[in-house]
Structure 1
Amino acid sequence: MNNTLYKTKRWEKKRKRILKRDGYICQQSRRYGRTVSADTVHHIYPVEEYPELAFVNWNLISLSGPVHNKMHDRVTGDITELGKQWQERRRTEFERWVKEEEKKEC
C-alpha cells in the first residue's frame, strides 16, 4: 500500500469530498437498504496497480471500516469477489479511461 498518499493534504481533501458526496454512508450497505456510517474511502481499482486513478472520483467510494476490509484479502492483498463486483460496476468508466490513455500514447 502506498501509505505516503494517505498522509497528503491532497488525499485528505479528496477523502472529505468523497465522504460528503456519498452522504457519509457506506455505499455497499446502501445497496441493501441499510444506513451504515462510512469512515473510509476505497479505491475500486487499487492505487498500487493504477496510481493514475488515485484521485479520480468514479474510482472512489465511501465504505464502513468492516465493509472495506471485505474488499481486500488482508493476508495476500488480493481483491476479493466483492471488490471485483465493484470493479465490474465501474467497468465502463475504466474502459473509457483506458481508451483515453491509449490516445495519449499515440
Structure 2
Amino acid sequence: MKQVNKFYKDPKWMAKRIRILKRDEYRCKECLRYGRSVAAATVHHVIPLDQRPDLKFNSDNLISLCNKCHDKMHDRTNNKLTKLGEQWIRRMKAEK
C-alpha cells in the first residue's frame, strides 16, 4: 500500500492526472453516461494499478470521475472492484 501511495505523489503521475482531467473536460465519465455534467476531481485506473502496474500511465486505462462515482468503483472493505468497476473494464475492452 505504501508503494501505491508513493505513486500518487510522483510528479509524472500528477502531470498525467491533469492531462486526463483536461482530456475529459474535468467532467465525470460515469455521470456523463446518464446525461449529468458533474465535476471530476479523481482520475481512476479502470484496471487497478495493483493488477496491471504496466498500465499506470496508459491514457486508455484512465478516466475522470467525481468522488461519489469513484467510491462506487471500489469496495472499500476489501479493496476489490465493484460490479460497476468491473463493467468499466468490460466496456474498455469492448471499445478496442
- Superposition TM-score, scaled by structure 2 size: 0.94
2:50 matched residue in structure 1? 48
Structure 1 stretches of 4+ moved >6 Å: none
Unaligned runs of 5+ residues in structure 2 are: none
Equivalence for 2:29: 27
User: Partner of 2:22: helix, strand, or coil?
Assistant: helix
Q: What is the distance in 2 between the residues matched to 1:14 and 1:84? A: 23
Q: Distance in 1 between matches of 2:19 and 2:94?
A: 23
| Match 1:37 to one of 26, 36, 39 | 39
Task: Confirm whether residue 78 of structure 1 aligns to residue 80 of structure 2.
Answer: yes
Q: Does the alignment pair 1:8 with 2:10?
A: yes
Aligned residue in 2 for 1:88: 90
Give the count of matched residue pairs. 94
Partners of 1:92 and 1:12 in 2: CA distance: 28
Q: Distance in 1 between matches of 2:94 and 2:74?
A: 22
- Identity among equivalent positions (%) equals 50
**Is there any run of 5+ residues in structure 1 with no aligned partner, and where?**
97-106
Whose strand fraction is larger, Structure 1's or Structure 2's? 2
Shift of 1:91: 1.4
TM-score, normalised with respect to structure 1: 0.85
Deviation at 1:90, TM superposition (A): 1.2
Could you tell me how far apart the structure 2 residues matched to 1:6 and 1:72 are? 17
1:72 deviates by: 0.4
